[in-house]
A = this chain, B = another copy of it.
Amino acid sequence: MITHAMEDYLKAIYLLQKGEEKVSTTAIAEQMNVSAPSVTGMIRKLTTMGLIDHTSYQGVQLTEGGKKVAKEVLRHHRLLELYLVEIMGFTWDKVHDEADKLEHVISEEFEEKMSDALGHPTTDPHGHAIPAKDGAVKEVSYETLAEVEPGSFATVEQVNDNNPEMLRYLDNLEIVPGALVQVVAKEPFNGPLHLKIDQAEHFIGLEVAHNVFVEVSEKEAN
């Protein structure tokens, strides 16, 4: 039996893994806001169940089975986020927490009805890919806005969705997936990012810029 807690761990591990690297106990503990011993305990259980591989003191990796479960949960989560925004009229800062609770309890039919109503979408309101029913995901890794060189134009692709306050802030500035942003400068020194968005000029902190993922269009346009 896979419990809600197990689903949460598998999802966290899925989101933390980059390529073939093992995911550490501490990283999972931080992501989930639990203690390291709690993670060790769950790791033992998930390993026994064949959902992860564990090398003592080295970290864990999802097995194919574990990856399948994680993607199903993530599909629920991201479909829910989009459904809440598009169909129910939630603002995008509220949907992460709501989806975190709902993702574990909705039926496959509920998932299907949402997907139908939304026209089988592939990205959620924050620009994250929605895994397909068969597990296919187009996981792209983008640059962060903080890394973009001054003078460049960049299209916003993704925004981290775990901080409601930041999401409201970004929404005000129209820094949302699809928006075109011009990075004017980092000033005075690695300082606030000077941006031009749709004529308006803004300064945003570097920490915030680290949560915005972009595709650079051109180094110098007009």
Interface residues of A (CB under 8 A from B): 84, 87-90, 94, 97-98, 101-102, 105-107, 109-110, 113-114, 117
CA distance A175 to B105 in the complex (A): 30
CA distance A113 to B90 in the complex (A): 8
Establish whether residues A90 and B109, one from each chain, have CB atoms under 8 Å apart when the complex forms.
yes
CA distance A79 to B117 in the complex (A): 19
Smallest CB gap from A117: residue in B: B88
Smallest CB gap from A83: residue in B: B88
| Identical chains bound together, number | 2
Supply 16 A–B pairs (Cβ within 8 Å), ascending by A: A84-B110, A87-B87, A88-B110, A88-B114, A88-B117, A90-B109, A90-B113, A94-B107, A94-B109, A97-B107, A98-B106, A98-B109, A98-B110, A101-B105, A102-B106, A105-B105
User: 16 other contacts beyond A97-B107, A102-B102, with CB at 8 A cut-off?
Assistant: A84-B110, A87-B87, A88-B110, A88-B113, A88-B114, A88-B117, A90-B109, A94-B107, A94-B109, A98-B106, A98-B107, A98-B109, A101-B106, A102-B105, A102-B106, A105-B105
Chain A interface SS verdict (over half): helix
CA distance A98 to B113 in the complex (A): 13
CA distance A98 to B101 in the complex (A): 14
